[in-house]
């Protein structure tokens, strides 16, 4: 059985096609931005942050070594008659740089955990994003082209001129005006009658 459609407004189809084209453009941009943001975040973790905190760990490890040496030197240089040499400042400096070194170590551990977690999340996020991107790039152009052909066919049909109605014949009592057939049947009354089946029994 042939399919039919009841088209009320061609302008509505045009508006729908324009809205669909806008959606395709926005969705394509969004998919590329999401993929770019994911890649940029992973790059920031794996390279920028990793390089920075490795440098901080190396720096404060050297500072710890220097502070320990300074504390030992101060203790050795104290005079024998000094019962309690003052090394308060040196000890405070050592505690400070040790804290910074430990902080750098904690940051590196956290960074490696965050990298593993975000890499897994990035894979899960990219799957639906790339599926949507594939639909937008491959199927949307086909849908827009089909809509354009449908709209063009409908407009060509609307532009067809119906034959002019004949003047009523005064002798025959009138005539019947002709008109173009409907493009899309609106009811079953517009469909041709089904051919009779020779094997089918006549209905009473």
Q: Which of 20-24, 108-112, 176-180 has the lowest mean pLDDT?
A: 176-180
pLDDT confidence of residue 86: 73
The SS3 assignment for 97 reads helix
C-alpha to C-alpha distance for 204 and 197, rounded to whole angstroms:
15
- 203 DSSP assignment: P
Higher pLDDT, 42 or 79: 42
pLDDT in tens, 149-164: 999 998 888 888 555 5
Scan for tokens 């302008």, then name that residue.
11
| Count of CA atoms in the C-beta half-sphere (13 A) of 102 | 6
Domain-by-domain residue ranges, the chain?
A: 12-158
pTM of the model: 0.56
pLDDT confidence band for 175 (50 / 70 / 90):
very low
Phi, psi (deg, nearest 5) at residue 40: -65, -40
Structure tokens at 111: 């960074």
pLDDT confidence of residue 174: 47
Closest alpha carbon to 91 in 105, 113, 74: 74
| Count of CA atoms in the C-beta half-sphere (13 A) of 202 | 1
pLDDT in tens, 84-111: 567 888 889 999 999 999 999 999 999 9
- 200 DSSP assignment: S
Q: Using alpha carbons only, how large is the chain's radius of gyration in Å?
A: 42
| Cα angle 31-35-38, degrees, rounded to a multiple of 5 | 140
pLDDT in tens, 179-192: 455 554 444 444 44
| CB within 8 Å of 78: residues ≥ 6 apart | 85
């Amino acid at each position: 059985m042939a399919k039919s459609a009841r088209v009320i407004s061609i302008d509505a189809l045009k508006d729908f096609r324009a809205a669909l084209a806008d959606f395709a453009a926005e969705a394509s941009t969004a998919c590329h931005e999401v993929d770019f943001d994911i890649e940029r975040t992973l790059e920031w973790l794996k390279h920028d942050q990793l390089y920075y905190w490795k440098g901080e760990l190396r720096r404060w490890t050297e500072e710890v070594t220097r502070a320990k040496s300074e504390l030992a030197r101060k203790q050795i240089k104290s005079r024998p008659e000094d019962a309690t040499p003052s090394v308060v400042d040196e000890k405070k400096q050592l505690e400070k740089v040790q804290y910074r070194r430990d902080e750098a170590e904690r940051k590196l551990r956290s960074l490696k955990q965050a990298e593993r977690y975000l890499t897994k999340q990035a894979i899960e996020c990219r799957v639906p994003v790339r599926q949507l991107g594939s639909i937008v790039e491959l199927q949307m152009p086909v849908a827009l082209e089909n809509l354009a052909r449908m709209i063009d066919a409908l407009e060509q049909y609307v532009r067809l001129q119906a034959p002019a109605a004949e003047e009523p014949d005064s002798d025959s009592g009138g005539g019947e005006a002709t008109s173009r057939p409907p493009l899309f049947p609106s009811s079953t009354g517009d469909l041709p009658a089904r051919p009779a089946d020779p094997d089918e029994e006549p209905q009473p």
